[in-house]
Amino acid sequence: MDVKIFQFHGCNKCFNETILLNGESEYKVEFIEDPKNWKETKTDVSVITGYLLLEDREVLDKIKSNSGKIIGYGNCATTGGVFALANQRGYDISPLNKFIVDAQKINGCLGEVEELKSAINYEEPSKLKNLCLVCGRKTTCDYLDEVKRQIELDDDTTCFNDLGYLCSGFIAKECKERCIDYNAPCRGCKSSLERPGIRMLGMFGTLMGNIEVATEHSELGATDKLADQDDDVTDSLPDVLGNFFRFTLPTSGLPRGRIPSSGNILNDVFAGRLIEELPLISGLLGGDHSISLTLKIIETYEKANQIELSEPTKKYRQELLELENQLQEAIKSKDPEQYKKITDEIRKIGGNMNLSNVFFGGFRTQIDDNDNFEDYKTHVFDVVEGTYKNGSVEFKIDPIGIVKEIIIKEV
Amino acid sequence: MSCENIEPEVLEKMENIVVFMCNECGQGSANTAGVARMAYNPAIRIVRVQCTGQIGPIQIMDALSNGADAVACVGCCLGACHFFNGNVLSMHRIKLLKKVFKELGYSDQFVNQYTSRAAEGETAVGDFEDIVIRLATAIREEGTIKDGC
């Protein structure tokens, strides 16, 4: 079967993951990194990865007329993905279904290659459970007294939401990446229903029932109304858009943002996000550089704020960087066995390909059973306002921890 | 500021203002206003719901994406929800949705929540007036929400 993989814009993690198809004898896989200059040839299945802009319509039409089936693989193609947070600043990143209505979608960041295989083979999509049903933590759904931006890692039996730590498991399907296994809440990359962000917003808003919402006297109505000023509700979630619409802004039904763009898409994705979310976002969108980018951002902040690093932390981080170099070699040679071996190693240390286990000051879960976890366990850190600069990365943090500006030179 | 001072070209842009009113105080006060023949802006479209606690971002976004210029909820007074605390819960959700609009660079006045008293029609009509005035300010400053969609 002829399979063509097209990489459009942005991070190439899903595109790289399709290297695993290369090892299967039933597929004749062709990788197309520059779809604009693709010479049209008939193909059985086309797989679209990366985020899409309106200007890609022509290329997508060409692909459509030459393909028996089209599959959108990964969140960037299916719902806009993390890059679509730039739509807040006027970009027009669009989901694949806007161009090709009947394209099959495989959500996830990273998309799962097993699902891709079954889609290529025209098999029925497997029925996956809701993430909460397979999560080891138990919920009571009591109203929250406060929302926490970072949690202590001691409690591993209570639901993240009950601890006051926003987790999108309610609207997510079970997945392979399983951030929840690494003391990181689910970010909802593989949603189980339509418009997950809006639903999660309603759900979490309800959970915040015990947090005081400001009201004011309405002159005309002579009764109370919801106040315009900021209150505990808005202060506890400084970045609502980035928390609830991380992967699905273009499909959420919200209008396109009107905040002026800085002209650089990476800056537009990062600006407005929270400092504690930076490792995750750089892990999501860094492609084959995600490890070095994430560690660079983390280390920039740690260095400036004198966050001490233990020897095991340094050792594991160094191992991750070495694995990244090996991964780049494997990607160049398109060797599926090598790729699988190295990604398995990365998953052992980083948790998953989005590096859920990596955080400021250490790691979120124990990596090796023989280690003493206390040696490299991450702790709640303080948000410190300032401008941070370290070689190719420079960012500015405001007093509540919102990134105002970021410059990344190498990706 | 009252509704009479709003320019006709701004009023023209308000075609549909969806107001979800709870079955108890909200709808009750609208009924009282109706019995007393109080006038209010013809763009107001009342949708009766059991409790404003039923209304969340999904219903509001559905209304906005299907042509509403603004959406408001009118529920019972604070502490007087006929169920338990539906009016306060929907305030939490609407507050978050207002913040989303701000983060996208829009006015947060396209969505609002009010309370009213069933025995006093003036409270509902006053709320309607407040909705219209706030929407007029938002339209004057940055156009309707449809301009951004």
Q: Which tokens is A15 given?
A: 């595109």
- The pLDDT of residue B149 is above 60: no
Burial of B47 (0-12, 13-18, 19+ CB in 10 A): middle
pLDDT at A101: 95
Place of tokens 């006027």: A90
Q: Touching check for A233 and chain B: CB below 8 Å?
A: yes
Residue A248 contacts B where some CB pair is shorter than 8 Å: no
The distance from CA B130 to its chain's CA centroid, rounded to whole angstroms, is 9
Q: Does A239 touch chain B (CB under 8 A)?
A: yes
CA quadruple A268, A271, A276, A280: dihedral, nearest 10? 0
A341: number of Cβ within 10 Å:
14
Q: Where in chain A is the domain with CATH 3.40.50.700?
A: 2-120
Task: Give the residue among A194, A8, A180, A175 at the shortest CA–CA distance from A84.
Answer: A8
Question: Which chain A residues have a beta carbon less than 8 Å from that of B78?
Answer: 215, 224
The C-alpha of A29 sits at a distance from chain B's nearest C-alpha, in angstroms, of: 40
How many angstroms away from the CA of A300 is the closest CA of chain B?
27
Q: Which residue of A has its CA nearest to B56?
A: A202
- Chain A CB contacts of B62 under 8 Å are 253
Task: Name the closest residue on chain A to residue B113, using Cα atoms.
Answer: A226
Q: Do A215 and B78 touch (CB under 8 A)?
A: yes
Burial of B12 (0-12, 13-18, 19+ CB in 10 A): exposed
Query: Looking at the complex, does the CB of residue A91 fall below 8 Å from at least one CB of chain B?
Result: no
d(C-alpha B33, C-alpha A378), whole Å: 60
In one-letter notation, the amino acid at residue A290 is S
CATH number for the domain formed by residue range(s) A2-120: 3.40.50.700
A111 contact B CB<8A? no
pLDDT of the residue at A390: 87
pLDDT of A343: 94
Instruction: Tell which of A195, A217, A220, A234 to mutate to test the B interface (max B CBs under 10 Å).
Output: A220
Residues B120 and B32: their CA atoms lie apart, in Å, by 7
B93 touches chain A (CB under 8 A): yes
Q: Report CA-CA distances (Å) from A54 to A96, A115, B48.
A: 10, 27, 40
How much is the pLDDT for B119?
Answer: 94
Per the structure, how many domains does chain B have? 1
- How much is the pLDDT for A47? 96
From the list B148, B44, B53, the residue with the least C-alpha distance to B101 is B148
Higher per-residue pLDDT: B143 or A227:
A227
> Given CB atoms, is B107 within the 8 Å cutoff of chain A?
no
Taking only the tens place, the pLDDT of each residue in B75-111 is 999 999 999 999 999 999 999 999 999 999 999 999 9
- CB-CB neighbors (< 8 A) of B123 in chain A: 221-223
Residue of A nearest to B109 (CA): A228
Burial A316-332 (b: 16+ CB within 10 A, else e): bbebbeebbeebeebbe
Q: Write down the pLDDT at residue A25.
A: 85
The size of the A-B interface in CB pairs under 8 A is 142
Stretch B16-30: mean pLDDT: 95
A194: tokens are: 């339509």
Which structural domain range is residue B77 located in?
3-148
CA distance A270 to A277: 9
ipTM over 0.90: yes
Listed in sequence order, the DSSP H helices in A105-263 are 113-120, 131-134, 196-207, 232-236, 240-244
DSSP state of A150: S
- For chain B, what is the radius of gyration of the CA atoms? 15
The domain that holds B119 is classified in CATH as: 3.40.50
Q: Is A236 on the interface with B (CB under 8 A)?
A: no
Contact between chains at B103 and A239 (C-beta distance less than 8 A): yes
Chain B stretch 68-87, residues whose beta carbon is closer than 8 A to a beta carbon of chain A = 77-78, 85
Q: What are A164-206's pLDDT values in tens digits?
A: 999 999 999 999 889 999 999 999 999 999 999 999 999 999 9
| Chain-centroid distance, C-alpha A406 | 18
DSSP B22-83: ETTHHHHHHHHHHHTT----TTEEEEEES-GGG--HHHHHHHHHTT-SEEEEEEPPTT--SS
d(C-alpha A361, C-alpha A218), whole Å: 48
pLDDT given for residue B117 in this prediction: 95
Residue A339 has a pLDDT of 94
Return the residue of A nearest to B142 by Cα. Answer: A258
Tens digit of each residue's pLDDT, chain A (411 residues): 899 999 999 989 999 999 999 888 889 999 999 999 999 899 999 999 999 999 999 999 999 999 999 999 999 999 999 999 999 999 999 999 999 999 999 999 999 999 999 999 999 888 899 999 999 999 888 999 999 999 888 888 999 999 999 999 999 999 988 999 999 999 999 999 999 999 999 999 999 999 999 999 998 888 999 999 999 999 999 999 999 999 999 999 898 899 999 888 999 999 999 999 999 999 999 888 999 999 999 999 999 998 889 999 999 999 999 999 999 999 999 999 999 999 999 999 999 999 999 999 999 999 999 989 999 999 899 999 999 998 889 999 999 999 999 998 865
Q: Which residue of B has its CA nearest to A212?
A: B92
* Number of residues that make up chain A: 411
In contact, B86 and B75? CB cutoff 8 Å: yes
Identify the H or E element spanning A105: strand A104-106
Give the best residue of B62, B78, B96 to mutate against chain A (max A CB count within 10 A).
B96
B106: nearest CA partner in chain A: A258
Q: What is the pLDDT of residues A278-317, one digit of tens each?
A: 999 999 998 889 999 999 999 999 999 988 899 999 999 9
Distance from CA of A166 to the nearest CA of B (A): 14
With an 8 Å Cβ cutoff, is A141 touching chain B? no
A272–B contact, CB cutoff 8 A: yes
Query: What does the CA dihedral B47, B49, B52, B53 come to, rounded to 10 degrees?
Result: -140
The encoded tokens of residue A7 equal 């990489």
Close Cβ partners of A97 (under 8 Å, ≥ 6 residues apart): A72, A78, A103, A105
Question: Parallel, antiparallel, or unpaired for β A2-7 and A43-49?
Answer: parallel
- Nearest-Cα distance to chain B for A353, in Å, is 29
